A = this chain, B = another copy of it.
Amino acid sequence: MSIAKTGNIPPLDPAAAEPFYRQIYDRFRGAIASGLLKPGDRIPSARALTEELGLATGTIKAAYSLLAAEGYIQARGQAGTIVTPGLKLRTPAASAMPQSAGVVRTVSYRPDSILPFQMGLPALDAFPRKIWARLGARCVRAMQASDMAHPSVYGLQGLRAEIAAYLHVSRGINCSPSQVFVTSGYRHTIELIGHALLKAGDRVWLEDPGYPPTRELLGHMQIAAVPVPVDREGMVVAAGVKAAPRARAAVVTPAHQSPLSVSLSLPRRLALLDWAARNKAWIIEDDYDGEYRYVSRPLPALKSLDRDGRVLYAGTFSKVLFPGIRLAYLVVPQTQVERFEQISQAFAGGSPQLTQAIVTAFITEGHFARHIHRMRKLYAERRELAIAGLESVLGKHMRIDAQPGGMHLILRLQGKQSDRRLVARMREEGLYAEALTDWKMAGGSASALLLGFTNVDSPAMAENLGRRVLRLL
């Protein structure tokens, strides 16, 4: 690995319409597209480039954060920042088309068909499709003229009330329906929060390792991610306080940390709430699978402890129903209701009336509670059989983490095996996996596969899949 000389990069133009950060971004992108910078090459540190170009540190950091968000470069902690290894430009003649030189992402990969071990999917075979179809047909036939006009941008009143009631019973959250905003998914939720409460240049704590799309989305919004390590008690709040005490927000997955599946301990929950209250910072609780805990009852949400109105609770129907419905929600503190109403008026078009009507009926008639109850039981079983099947075949090469809940397994690779390389091979063979390394931001090595187990329905299937992985080692 060589350190790229910035002499390779064309000089910046102070008279150009493009701001400097964008020029720097474009020049690195061009240098990568044309092959001047190759995957694995080290690039100058933000500090070195700041001194060399005589620009503000923030300018360089904005350019780097955009490059990182789009997958061009990766920060490797002490080892510096490098051009993403394995980066492939989509077009062979990329240098001739700098505008369209895209990158093939290695994380958050969404295949065209459903693959074994795919993450983030509920058990598709166990969904009560007949009930759903019956309710759906009923709702579409019942459509009145008033259902055809613009739906409320906050969400259907009936659905907001059902969500508030459900959160009270199942997650220990006391909120009124007016605090609930229906969104079209987690990304939309984060975007609304960004518009309402954050601004370009803000710093936000993110769990490290953590869900890559959050980082990417914030990067596009020019919000700087502060990686905060995760240990057996979840996010190390003290490390966050040390790294960025004045950060504007923290994104956490308290129920089952994404992806390590540990739960945020009570002392950490209290420390986080205390930090937020003192600094008037926001806590964004991503409770994507809080229901799916197998060792004991689901823990109440962090939001249930929120005395100072600092927690924004992000829930979704993607995991407890299915992702194709594109329906999620956000609970905001009472003091922020009007702000979110304004922002929803400006940005949100509302979710389709039909989708909301079907989900409302599904909850009202008790199917939702029954379905979650059944899935909790089913996932506990599938997790056990997936672990048993995989261990019987791969036990010598991998160690499976014990976890209290969640919808995926973590298989730690032994020795110096690269999780990224194995994941690439598995995808070539039509098997899904994500590499823990791709979920990391700052240094520290941890080579592991993340595998969804919710659609593994027999020990034989688990063993078969395990054998297919074994052949790729």
A contact residues, total (Cβ < 8 Å): 81
Taking the closest CB of chain B, its distance from the CB of A346, in whole angstroms, is 5
A187 at the interface (CB under 8 A from B): yes
B99 contacts A149, C-beta separation under 8 Å: no
- Contacting A323 at CB < 8 Å: which of B105, B108, B148, B354? B148
A346 contacts B220, C-beta separation under 8 Å: yes
Closest to A202 in B: B17
Given contacts A133-B140, A323-B148, A323-B150, contact A220 B114 (CB under 8 A): no
Taking the closest CB of chain B, its distance from the CB of A367, in whole angstroms, is 15
Which residue among A325, A336, A337 has the maximum number of chain B CB atoms within 10 Å of its CB?
A325
Closest to A324 in B: B353
Which residue among A114, A341, A352 has the maximum number of chain B CB atoms within 10 Å of its CB?
A352
The interface-forming segment of A122-130, A296-304, A440-448, A464-472 is A122-130
A22 at the interface (CB under 8 A from B): yes
B341 contacts A220, C-beta separation under 8 Å: no
Bound-state CA distance A129–B141 (Å) is 8
Given contacts A220-B346, A338-B100, A346-B217, contact A146 B325 (CB under 8 A): no
Bound-state CA distance A141–B130 (Å) is 8
A322 at the interface (CB under 8 A from B): yes
A324 contacts B140, C-beta separation under 8 Å: no
Q: Which B residues are in CB contact (< 8 Å) with A355?
A: 352, 354-355
Taking the closest CB of chain B, its distance from the CB of A299, in whole angstroms, is 27
B137 contacts A141, C-beta separation under 8 Å: yes
Closest to A112 in B: B152
Q: Which B residues are in CB contact (< 8 Å) with A216?
A: 345-346
Which residues of chain A in 320-368 are interfacial with respect to chain B, using CB atoms and an 8 Å cutoff? 322-327, 335-339, 341-343, 345-355, 358
Enumerate the 6 nearest inter-chain pairs by beta-carbon distance, A residue then B residue, closest first: A185-B349, A136-B140, A137-B137, A102-B338, A148-B322, A124-B145
